[in-house]
Chains A and B, each alone.
Chain A
Amino acid sequence: MMHRRTLLAAGTAAAVMPAPLSRARAQANTIKIGVLNDQSGNYSYIAGLNGVIMAQVAAQEFGNRGFNVEILSADHQNKPDVGANIARQWLDRDGVDMILDVPTSSIGLAVNGICREKNKAYINVGSATADLTGSQCSPNTAHWVYDTYMLAKSTGGAMVRAGGDSWFFITADYAFGHALERDTTTFVRAAGGRVMGGVRYPFPATTDFSSFIVQAQASRAKVIGLANAGQDTTNCIKQIAEFGLTRRGTKVAALLMFIADVHALGLDVAQGLVMTESFYWDMNDRTRTFTQRVRPRLNNGQVPNMVTAGNYSGTLHYLKAVADMGVAAAKASGVDVINRMKAMPTEDDAFGTGTIRPDGRRIIPSFLFEVKSPAESRAPWDYLKLLQTTPAEEAFRPLAEGGCSLVRS
């Protein structure tokens, strides 16, 4: 009996007291952002927890403009089923309004479908596949800092122009690797180059690449194109150096590489590699101030990279759109938020000014860098020198060529 009385009392209290009501109101007035990425595996050191922290930094800097922001995070372990389950749970049960980051293209594409089905907003930062704004584009999605087309055009194009006209690909056997190989092949062929061969290795179960490296050597290609990322890329570069290919003149095109990879490899191994980014901490005064401001918050002494800075920039732009249209409207429709985001120019310390196209592609310049030699590097994390800038309007695939159903001619 005691139990039932307590329950009754609690019920009465709840009806009389204003506290639970204000809590309910607070829920309705809180925007929830879910950062979903790899926090323990192959890609975890690119963004991982630092990606979550950068979203929190953006929310704090944005401040309270009449609504609260809550950041959730989870580890998808590079498994599409795990990632899709978390996304569904967040949207169905936990009231998450926007999903952010989601590296590993197979999972990035799965979450793309789920957000569309539930009409929530989706800002993809970590996935590379250009299909997110091409054949699989969605009105609920913005693709934020880079994609396979942009990498292929910048890094691939530069390698061919420098005389690397015959290629051998070492490709991670899933959506991302396939897209990167496909887009790079297009540029190599368009520039008159040839693809001599390639291997697709099981992802993420491969750590020894020596067999593929020997095959690449036997093909006599001038360039080995690495259509992979994270530890696979650093393992490949290390082992290519171990087998002495770089010493004998074979070029390595690390088609997707982050500054965290350069740091993990060390300049003596990484020097001379070219890589493409849309953000580098040491670009200008604005990015340097930004880096000084946020770096104390990051783990493992990292500087912000293209993906973590992208999480910052994406969160900021999303919150601006929410403030602009009101929390209730933003919670009601993910398509409306993304449309509002497309209607306003993006503006932040990391990437400067940009725009979002109808297909969801954010348009910003891409930069081709070369990794410095140990002698050229003057300070910690002074790793890259700028070779070339591709202006925003040329950096990405032309709107009409993507095959996106949202684009009407």
Chain B
Amino acid sequence: MSTLTAGTPIAMKRPIYGWTIHDGLVVARRNLIQTVRVPELLFFSLVQPVIFVLLFAYVFGGAIPVPGDSDPNAYRQYLMPGIFGQTVAFAAASSTVGLAEDMHKGLIDRFRALPMAPPAVLIGRTLADAARQILVLFVLTITGFLVGWRIDNGLLNAIYAYALLLLFAYTVAWIGAWIGLYMPNPETANTAGLVWLFPMTFLSNAFVPLASLPTWLQYIAAWNPISALVLATRELFGNPTGMANDQYWPLQNPQLYTIVSCVVLIAIFSTLSVRRYRRTTSR
């Protein structure tokens, strides 16, 4: 056994974006490496939304008419942005489970005994979970093309639509992270991480036109940020929106409402999560 020679540690220069972001990116890289190391998990997380596309396109599709469009292919055009929205929303579940697992492993103690920025574990988790959605959206887009979906409004608008979807993924990842911090164990996180996502994604215009819902549900669905997200992406992709002269403000200004609600939700849930993280880790 030789002696160690690397000598006195050499410190790194402070990056312009600050240590909190730096540390968050280091943790995000760790989470993304994990994804690559468990290809099975990655594979099945891609299969699930693809199955949704096929089920809705071929099983429910014929039974759900799109108002103002008699084209038999219209539902698939209408469906794809809904699937995109639902899929990125489910990114929250991986944040819940991932963080619940992290919090119950010895690794979190080492993180806490390092001079790193405390929110970095949360920032790294949410960034990685949102980044993973890039691949998911890519696979879904290909699937969409195969079932007859088309982008009809130019590339720039499409890129804008994908950007909104990723912003939304990052937003729900923070909500998922916050839930994960309250979980007594990873098994509970598996259930609790999903349970709120079903009503959130189905009480919206993602799969059915708003007009088909009872009035009181229409009200809830209209203010559900996911409806605005899905409507905004439908418009940006040039797909049928299934609505005319909407009376609800969020659906009159879907892009604005999506961005505002994402910013507000990130502000709320990142604050709550960081506070909760500090409390659980400083007994």
Query: A and B from one assembly?
Result: no
Using CB atoms and an 8 Å cutoff, list the residues of chain B in contact with chain A: none
